[in-house]
Amino acid sequence: MFEYMGYSIAPWGLDIVVYFFLIGTAGMTFVYAAAPAVFGSVFNGAAKSMLPFQKVGMVISLVLLVICLPLLITDLGQPGRFFYPIIYFHWTSPISWGSLFLPLFGLCIIGFIFASTNENAGLMRTTGILGSLLALSMPLYTGLDLMVNQTRELWNNPTIPLLFVILSMSSGTAVVAVTQLSRGQLNQKASEFLHVFLYISLGVTFALFLAEWVVLNYGTGEEQQAWEIINRQFGFSYWGLTFLIGILIPLAMIAVPKLGRKPTVLTVAAVLSAVGAYTFREVLIYAGQLTQIDF
């Protein structure tokens, strides 16, 4: 007789990856849109360059959120029970926190839109600050959701939430750049503003990518197994889409500020980085599960 198997499945699939990506993007889009109201004239009023994006950004953020909700809910085996994490709140579970923050975040968006149409600056500021914090919590909690799995070594490190926040910054930047470019509103100031953030996010992503690479090579057996899987199954996603297209090329494009601040260049770079932001998440989520399938 040969090996009997109790086969196992990887619990999280495409829905979750897309959700993680979109909710992070929604969060960062909100942060950009709320920036003028939140930061006002700090940093020499740099955030003011986002004023033209304010309303449309809020709407985009809301739309992304509205896409996310059914994605998240239908991914559940029991969609009708989507509110259970709130009524049976479990404080050690990131999903519980996420479920709580998610509707609050939605309320903030609506509140902000409401405030901005009513030109209520105070409310805009409150919902902007609160919403930005909640917006940041979106990629953060999805990262934590992986990180708290103490038994999955690929996930169980504190850089994951950081990475997810940073990746959201890339995709959020892409949303702003694409929207504003297509509306003909990506002016020099806005480009400079976005360039700073894209630069930061790509730089940090690059650093984290290298760190991850070291861990995967020098880490425990499980991490090395993940390395195996990545190179075998997700080689193209990892090296091609994430590293080359998602990090190296955009980084090179914006490395020289003069060039990088050109609206079109910046937008292309931001879009590429968003691709990387998606595939990096995908690789980490999938490979992290596959290491355990046969255990």
Partner 1 sequence: MPVGLQAEPSLGVPGKKRWAMVIDLRRCIGCMSCVCADKAEYDVPLGVWRTIVKVKDTGRYPNTKRHFMPRLCNHCDNPPCVRNCPTEATYKHEDGFVLQRYDRCIACRTCIAACPYNARHVLPKNRDRVRIGGVVDKCTFCNHRVEKGLTPACVQTCLGRSRIFGDLNDPDSEVSHLVSRHKTVVLKPEKGTHPQVYYIKPDRAQTEQVFSSPQSSAARSDADAFYRHNRGSKFFSGVL
Partner 2 sequence: MSESCKYSRRDFIKLGSALGAASGAVGFGSRRLMAMEEALGDKDFSPMTGEERQAVPYTCLACNIQDGGMAYIEKGRIVKLEGNMDHPNTRGKLCAKGNAGFLHVYDPDRIMTPLLRTGKRGEGKWKRISYDEATTLLAKKLREVIDRSQATQDPGILNEIVFKWGRDRNGGTVGRFMHALGSNTMLNHTNICESSKKVGLESSWGPDIESCDWANTKYILNFGSNILESAYFMNPNAQRLVDGVVGNKAKLVSFDVRMSNTAGFSDEAYFPYPGTDSAIALAICHVIMKEGLYDADFIRDWTNVTAEQLIEHLKPYTPEFAEDESGVPAKDIRRIAHEFASTKPATTFSYRGPCKHLWGAYQEAAIHMINVITGNVEKKGGYCLPRGMGWPQPEPTPAKGKTPSPIAAPPLYPLASHHVSTHAPYMVMNGEAKVSVWMSYYDNPVYTYPSSHVWEHFLKDEALVPFLVSFSPYMSETTELADLIIPDVTYLERHDPESMPSGLYPCLSIRQPVIEPLGGTQEFRQSLIDVIHKVDPDGSLGAKRYFAFDTVEDWMKAHFDNIPGLKEDGGWEFMKKKGVWPIYGEVDKRTAKIVDRNGNEVDPDYGLYSKEIADADMQGAEIDENGTITKDGHAIGIRMDSKNRVGFGTPSRRIELYKESYRKYGFNPLPVYKRLPSRDKQPSELVLTTFKVNVHTQSRTASVKYLAELYHKNPAWVNPKSAAARGIRDGDLIRVSSSLGYIVTRAHVTEGVHPDVVAISTACGHSAYGRLAQLKNKLQPAEWAQGGDPDIANNVWWNDKGVHPNPIIRLAVDPIGGSQGWYDTLVKVSKAQPGDKYGDTKVSIEAALEDYQETLRYAYTGDIHRKKHKEVDVDWDNLPEPVLQMSGH
Where on the chain is the footprint of partner 2 (CB under 8 A)? 1-2, 4, 7
Handedness of CA 148, 151, 152, 155 (dihedral sign): positive
Binding mask 145-184 for partner 1 (x = CB under 8 A): xx-xxxxx--------------------------------
Binding mask 123-152 for partner 1 (x = CB under 8 A): ----------------------xx-xxxxx
- Of 95 and 248, CB closest to partner 1: 95
9 interacts with, out of partner 1, partner 2, none, CB within 5 to 8 A per kind? partner 1
Closest CA to 262 of 175, 198, 171, 172: 198
Are 205 and 280 within 8 A, CB to CB? yes
Q: What is the DSSP string of 113-133?
A: HHHHHTT-HHHHHHHHHHHHH
Q: Tell me how far apart the alpha carbons of residues 38 and 125 are, in angstroms, rounded to a whole number.
A: 5
Confirm or reject binding of residue 82 to partner 1 (CB under 8 A). Answer: yes
- Backbone dihedral region of 184: left (phi > 0), alpha (psi from -120 to 50 degrees) or beta? left
CB under 8 A: which stretch of 2-10, 127-135, 242-250, 254-262 binds partner 1?
Answer: 2-10
Among 56, 59, 69, 95, binds partner 1 (CB under 8 A): 95
Confirm or reject binding of residue 290 to partner 1 (CB under 8 A). Answer: yes
Q: Tell me how far apart the alpha carbons of residues 40 and 28 are, in angstroms, rounded to a whole number.
A: 18
122 interacts with, out of partner 1, partner 2, none, CB within 5 to 8 A per kind? none
Max CA pair span of the chain: 75
Give the binding site for partner 1 (CB under 8 A).
1-15, 75-78, 81-82, 84-85, 88-96, 99, 145-146, 148-152, 221, 286, 289-290, 292-295
